[in-house]
A and B are shown apart, each in its own frame.
Chain A
Amino acid sequence: MWFLLAALMQQAPVIDSNDLFGWNQYAVNHIELDSLSFEYFIDGYLVGTLQNVKCDGTAPNYTCEARILNLSNGVHTLELIAFNEYGESGKSVPFRFRYSKQITTDSYK
């Protein structure tokens, strides 16, 4: 059983504090895209609205990126909701990942 759990944990991709989360976002044009905000859920709990989201690409399938701070080490799930003035999308499919805080050189001092 322990080996199975360990194997499952190994499958989660690893992200560190320097990395970003990316996703695809449908929007008919840049105007609609710019009107969107994103709420994020960690391990099923609403944390807040993503800040400094950057989206690029061409309509209708844009690519967005954002950094999520203050994660604890270990395996988590991330879910996203997009919203605008007309309502909110449903929740995304949960994305499972392992967070590993990057150790800076200063940490060794």
Chain B
Amino acid sequence: MKSLLLMNSSLRSLLFVGCALIIGINVAEAQSAPNVGPNDNFAWNQDGPTLAAVQAYVYKYYLDGATTGSVFTGVTCTGTATPYSCQVKSPTFAMGPHGITLTAASASGESAQSMPFSFVYGNPPNIPNNIRIVKVP
């Protein structure tokens, strides 16, 4: 899966963030924005000196061009060498198309925003209810 990368000039050696979505398809080759639901995860590649270091970064997402970022909570990173793989459960968004960018921050500062990642957010259906038999004459 091809990652979308960004590099911050001030943190060029420390951070870069690629954003892709884990929904079982190759996002880079998809023809349209993937569908995302509350059970999906966002995932990206993260460069850093150690796994502990990238796990300690604060990751923010900027929704639809917002100037203020929101902190991702519950980010988990894995791997044995850089780039590490990080992911987080999707926050809840309004239904419809969106774009987000990510940043990573350490005590040294915040990276530039990643390339925008486009997706369409929606909700799974409600539970079927009141099952019954329909008699056919």
A binds B: yes
Of the four ranges (under 10, 10 to 19, 20 to 34, 35 or more), the interface on chain B belongs to 20 to 34
User: For A65, what are the chain B residues with a Cβ–Cβ distance below 8 Å?
Assistant: 134
User: For B128, what are the chain A residues with a Cβ–Cβ distance below 8 Å?
Assistant: 23-25, 38, 64, 80-82, 89, 92
Q: How many A-B residue pairs have CB under 8 A?
A: 93
- Indicate if the CB atoms of A21 and B133 lie closer than 8 Å: yes
A27 at the interface (CB under 8 A from B): yes
User: For A14, what are the chain B residues with a Cβ–Cβ distance below 8 Å?
Assistant: 133
User: For A26, what are the chain B residues with a Cβ–Cβ distance below 8 Å?
Assistant: 125-126, 129
Main secondary structure of the interface of A (DSSP, over half): strand
Interface residues of B in 119-133 (CB under 8 A from A): 121-133
User: For B38, what are the chain A residues with a Cβ–Cβ distance below 8 Å?
Assistant: 86-87
Q: Chain A CB within 10 Å — which of B37, B122, B133, B135 has the most? A: B133
User: For A42, what are the chain B residues with a Cβ–Cβ distance below 8 Å?
Assistant: none
Shortest distance between the CB of A31 and any CB in chain B (Å): 11
Which single member of B35, B127, B129, B133 contacts A85 (CB below 8 Å)? B35
- Indicate if the CB atoms of A84 and B126 lie closer than 8 Å: no
Q: In the complex the two chains form, what is the Cα distance from A93 to B35 in whole Å?
A: 28
* Chain A contacts to B: CB under 8 angstroms: 13-15, 18-27, 32, 36, 38, 64-65, 78, 80-93, 95, 97
* Chain B contacts to A: CB under 8 angstroms: 35-40, 121-136
